[in-house]
Amino acid sequence: MKKLLYSLALLTVACAPKTETATEPDVRSATDSLLLHPEEMKYLKNIKQLTFGGNNAEAYWSFNDSLLVFQSDFAGWDNSCDQMFYLNWREDDLSTNKPKRLSTGLGRTTCSYFLPGDQTIVYASTHLVDPACPPVPERRSDGKYVWPIYDSFDIFTADLNGTILSQLTKEPGYDAEATVSPKGDRIVFTSMRTGDLELFTMNIDGTDVKQITSDLGYDGGAFFSPDGSKLVWRASRPQTEEEIKEYKDLLKEGLVKPTEMELYVANADGTDIRKITSLGKANWAPFFHPSGNKLIFASNHQTERGFPFNLFMINLDGTGLTRITHDGTFDAFPVFSNDGKYLVFASNRNNGGTRDTNLFVAEWIGD
C-alpha cells in the first residue's frame, strides 16, 4: 500500500594491458544531473522517469525484466482511485500515452505482481464488494496518521488483457499485499483472517495456505529473497498497554498507524524470525539486494518531523546502514530487477512542486 535522478559524462577507456581487467565505460544519461543528486551517483546512473502525473507506486518486474506492473490513481488515465497498469519500461512513453490497464476499473486495487510466464498477474481488489472506490479515512481529530485496511480486499489473478482468471482468497476481511517468490512457486500476503494483520503464504493457485507470523501488530509488505528461501517485511510491535490498546482500537476501525515500523526477516516457512532494524519511526518497503545478503528500504528515521523519506541499505545482520538517496521529499518502494542491474522506485522528485509521486528506473552501480 502506498501512502507515499543528470550530467552528461562519457568516459572512454583505453585498451588495457593484457595483465589488467578493462572496465566498462561510465556512460551516463544526459539527464542524470537533473534527476539525481551528486551523492546518489555512487549507486545509480542512466535514470529514466516512467510516469508523469498522479500517484504511481509499487512497480514490480516481470520475470524476464522487460515489463513493470504498477498501481496508479492518475486522473488522466480515467482513474478515481488506484488501478493496475503495466508497461514495457524501455519502449513505452507514458508522458504522451496511456498504459494498458489490467484491473477492472472498479473498486480500488493494490499490490500487483507478475506470475511465472509473465502472462498473468496477481493483485488485490475491492470490486466484488462495491464497484465504487472505498472512502479514504478523514483527517482524525487526534492527529494520528493512519492507513485504511479495507476488509473488502481479496486477491485475484488476471491475464494481460485484464480478464480475471481466478479468486485466490475468499476469507472474510482484508487479504492483500501479495508478492511472488522468484522461484515461482509461492505467494506471500497479509491477511486479517485471524483477527490480526499477519503474513501467510500459499501456492500460486491459492492452495496450501500457511501462517507465517503470529505476534500482535501489523505484518505486511513482504517479499521473498532472490533464491526464495527467506522473507523480509515491515512490522509494528505494540508493547505497552497504551500501545496495544491504540493498535486494537484502530484495527476495529479498519485502520493502522504506520509511523512506527521496523524490518524483520525469516525463513520462508516462518522459522528463525529476526528483527533487522531498531531505527525508530517508519522503516518500510524493504526488498532484498540481488546478493540476498542486504536489504534496501525506505525510512524517515533521520528526520525530526517524519519527512522526508529516503532509501537506505543494510546488511541482514543489522550492520552497514548506508544512505542511498538524498532527495528532500519522498523516495520509497525500491525494487531490484531480477538480473540485479536495475532499480525501480517511486519518488516525489521532479514533480514541479505538486504532490505527484512518479516512477523512476535507473541502472544500479552500487555494491
Which pLDDT value is given to residue 275?
A: 98
Which pLDDT value is given to residue 307?
A: 86
Three-state SS string across the chain, please? CCCCCCCCCECCCCCCCCCCCCCCCCECCCCHHHHCCHHHHHCEEEEEECCCCCEEEEEEECCCCCEEEEEECCHHHCCCCCEEEEEECCCCCCCCCCCEECCCCCCCEEEEEECCCCCEEEEEECCCCCCCCCCCCCCCCCCCCCEECCCCCEEEEEECCCCEEEECCCCCCCEEEEEECCCCCEEEEEECCCCCCEEEEEECCCCCCEECCCCCCCEEEEEECCCCCEEEEEECCCCCHHHHHHHHHHHHCCEECCCCEEEEEEECCCCCCEECCCCCCEEEEEEECCCCCEEEEEECCCCCCCCCEEEEEEECCCCCCEECCCCCCEEEEEEECCCCCEEEEEECCCCCCCCCEEEEEEEECCC
The single residue listed with the C-alpha cell 488501478 is 83
- Give the chain's residues under pLDDT 70: 1-25
CB-CB contact of 266 with 273 (8 Å) = yes
- Cell numbers linked to 294: 542486504
Residue ranges of domains in the chain: 32-364
The residue among 152, 153, 176, 156 whose CA lies nearest residue 164 is 156
Other residues' Cβ atoms within 10 Å of the Cβ of residue 52: 18
Cα 275 from Cα 235, distance rounded (Å): 9
Which pLDDT value is given to residue 28?
A: 78
How many residues are present in the chain? 367
Which pLDDT value is given to residue 342?
A: 98
Which pLDDT value is given to residue 25?
A: 64
Which pLDDT value is given to residue 3?
A: 42
Please provide the CATH number assigned to the domain covering 32-364: 2.120.10.30
Which pLDDT value is given to residue 9?
A: 28
Which pLDDT value is given to residue 7?
A: 30
The whole-model pTM stands at 0.92
